[in-house]
């Protein structure tokens, strides 16, 4: 487990970029932390670090955004998903099988199920102002 403190959006993006260097193909990254914590910002860094050049946006309405690149990234928002069936239909397991890195915002909704995939977990907490406490488990940084 490693804990980081960031003081700006840019620092959180940079941390995501750094984590991307450590991720094997087919790794699931599970985010926890409420609205505005910085999950999408962190994912922007992941995409950058994986070499994906498409712009990153919140997949809230699409459920999943797929970013092409040398190391593709599938970016999920599980906020509106409530059943395992929906998770499968959205393709979460298919993307993992294909070797994409899969980032999942609101993984709280499926904590037990997603734990089976041996995820890297990223928890982001507000710590006043622009400060965030970011706890990363499941990989050495």
Which positions touch Mg ion (CB under 5 A)?
39-40, 58, 105
The option from ligand ADP, Mg ion, none interacting with 37 (CB < 5 to 8 A, set by class) reads: ligand ADP
The option from Mg ion, ligand ADP, none interacting with 12 (CB < 5 to 8 A, set by class) reads: ligand ADP
Q: Kindly tell me which residue out of 40, 65, 107, 121 binds ligand ADP, with binding defined by CB under 6 A.
A: 40
* CB closer to ligand ADP, 9 vs 22: 9
CB-based contacts of 34-38 (< 8 A; 24+ apart in sequence):
34/126, 36/126, 37/124, 37/125, 37/126, 37/132, 38/6, 38/9, 38/12, 38/124, 38/132, 38/134
Output the furthest CA–CA distance in the chain (Å, rounded).
39
Q: Do the Cβ atoms of 107 and 114 come closer than 8 Å?
A: yes
* CB closer to Mg ion, 58 vs 109: 58
Residue number with the shortest CB distance to Mg ion?
40
- 121 belongs to the binding site for ligand ADP (CB under 6 A): no
Encoding tokens for residue 98?
């294909």
* CB closer to Mg ion, 57 vs 82: 57
For 7, 11, 51, 122, 127, the CA distances from 85, given in Å and listed in that order, are: 38, 36, 31, 24, 36
The option from ligand ADP, Mg ion, none interacting with 8 (CB < 5 to 8 A, set by class) reads: ligand ADP
- 130 belongs to the binding site for ligand ADP (CB under 6 A): yes
Q: Do the bridges between strand 101-105 and strand 73-77 make them parallel or antiparallel, or are there none, so unpaired?
A: parallel
The residues of the shown chain that bind ligand ADP, judged by CB under 6 A, are: 6-9, 11-12, 33, 35-41, 58, 105, 130, 132
């Amino acid at each position: 487990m490693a804990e980081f403190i960031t003081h700006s959006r840019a620092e959180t993006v940079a941390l995501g970029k750094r984590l991307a260097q450590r991720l094997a193909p087919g790794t699931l990254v599970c985010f926890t932390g409420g609205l505005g914590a910085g999950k999408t910002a962190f994912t922007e860094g992941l995409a950058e670090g994986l070499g994906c050049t498409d712009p990153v946006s919140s997949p809230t309405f699409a459920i999943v955004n797929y970013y092409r690149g040398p190391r593709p990234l599938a970016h999920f928002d599980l906020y509106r998903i409530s059943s395992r069936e929906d998770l499968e239909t959205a393709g979460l397991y298919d993307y993992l099988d294909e070797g994409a890195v899969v980032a999942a915002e609101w993984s709280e909704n499926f904590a037990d199920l997603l734990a089976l995939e041996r995820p890297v977990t990223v928890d982001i907490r507000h710590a006043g102002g622009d400060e965030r406490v970011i706890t990363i488990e499941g990989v050495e940084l």
